[in-house]
């Protein structure tokens, strides 16, 4: 039987979200070596391997080396994957260990749950992304042509993936289901989003397929902020990402309102 979360707490639908948000921040910060440092190291290894092998063989945009092109993609990939991991891992761990009941007995509204969980995922995604940028920028500074685009797509992308992580955490009942969701949906869509290449280098069929991947627009719009050039218009990317975020957020809030798989 599903648990239906209360719609409001008096006239303050966000009451309690601050405490839950703080708890979620502490959850990943207590193991920052695993949740922040490890993803940064992984991104650096990608840069060293791909940058060393392809720097002299791949030219993407005029006057932009491959290593410089690669850095924003790795930063955004780290933001997206870690924002997803934060909400999904937190919720599935609470469900399996049984401590989710302590949240279910509180008068937290669905909106308060959503803001706290997704807010913490945005913080973790941005923390990891900033770490990746600070470490990799020494190899080939990519530049900061339009910083506002960088900030907008980082925030929207992290919030979208945090919302998707909540959906995955609500749906999954054990760790292997969560792993399947991440390995067969999130990882392929991230790697096929133009992180390591420009979609214009793809054959026509795969170029068209890439246009159906919302992750591509997150990466491409984010990269536009560094170079001022991109595979598609940043306004088109913004429209696609914003629309996708609204749709995913609406689904997430609806699942929280109905208490989908929160109690059996």
Q: What is the pLDDT of residues 18-56, one digit of tens each?
A: 999 999 999 999 999 999 999 999 999 999 888 777 666
Does residue 177 come out as left (phi exceeding 0), alpha (psi in the -120 to 50 range) or beta? alpha
Q: What is the pLDDT of residue 137?
A: 84
Q: What is the pLDDT of residue 57?
A: 61
Length of the chain in terms of residues written: 264
Q: What is the pLDDT of residues 123-139, one digit of tens each?
A: 999 999 999 999 988 88
Predicted TM-score (pTM) of the model is 0.90
Per-residue pLDDT of the chain (264 residues; tens, 9 = 90+): 455 565 544 447 676 889 999 999 999 999 999 999 999 999 999 998 887 776 666 667 777 788 888 899 999 999 999 999 999 999 999 988 888 888 888 888 999 999 999 999 999 999 999 999 999 888 887 778 899 999 999 999 999 999 999 999 999 988 899 999 999 999 889 888 888 888 877 888 888 888 899 999 999 999 999 988 888 999 999 999 999 999 999 999 999 999 888 865
Q: With contact defined as beta carbons under 8 Å apart, do 130 and 208 qualify?
A: no
- Tokens representing 142? 């990519």
* The Cα angle at residue 60 between residues 72 and 62, in degrees rounded to 5: 105
Give 54's contacts (C-beta < 8 A, 6+ positions apart): 66
Q: What is the pLDDT of residues 191-205, one digit of tens each?
A: 888 888 888 778 888
- Tokens representing 113? 């749950």
- Tokens representing 134? 């600070």
Q: What is the pLDDT of residue 1?
A: 43
Q: What is the pLDDT of residue 236?
A: 96
Residue 79, SS3 per DSSP: helix
Q: Answer positive or negative: Cα dihedral of 97, 99, 101, 103.
A: negative
Mean pLDDT of the chain: 88
């Amino acid at each position: 039987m599903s648990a239906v979360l209360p719609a409001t707490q008096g006239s303050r639908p966000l009451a309690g979200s601050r405490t839950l948000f703080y708890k979620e921040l502490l959850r990943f910060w207590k193991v920052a070596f695993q949740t922040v440092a490890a993803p940064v190291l992984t991104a650096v290894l990608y840069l060293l391997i791909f940058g060393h092998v392809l720097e002299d063989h791949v030219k993407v945009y005029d006057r932009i080396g491959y290593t410089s092109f690669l850095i924003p993609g790795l930063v955004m990939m780290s933001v997206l994957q870690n924002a997803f991991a934060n909400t999904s891992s937190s919720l599935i761990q609470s469900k399996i260990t049984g401590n989710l009941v302590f949240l279910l007995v509180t008068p937290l509204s669905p909106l308060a749950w959503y803001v706290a969980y997704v807010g913490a995922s945005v913080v973790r995604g941005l923390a990891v992304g900033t770490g990746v940028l600070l470490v990799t920028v020494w190899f080939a500074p990519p530049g900061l042509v339009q910083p506002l685009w960088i900030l907008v797509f980082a925030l929207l992308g992290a919030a979208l993936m945090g919302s998707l992580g909540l959906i995955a955490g609500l749906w999954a009942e054990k760790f292997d289901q969560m792993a399947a969701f991440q390995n067969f949906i999130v990882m392929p869509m991230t790697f096929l989003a133009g992180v390591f290449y420009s979609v214009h280098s793809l054959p026509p069929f795969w170029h068209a397929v890439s246009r159906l991947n919302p992750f591509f627009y997150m990466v491409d719009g984010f990269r536009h902020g560094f170079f001022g050039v991109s595979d598609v218009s940043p306004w088109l990317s913004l429209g696609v990402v914003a629309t996708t975020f609204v749709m995913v957020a609406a689904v997430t809030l609806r699942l929280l309102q109905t208490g989908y798989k929160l109690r059996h």
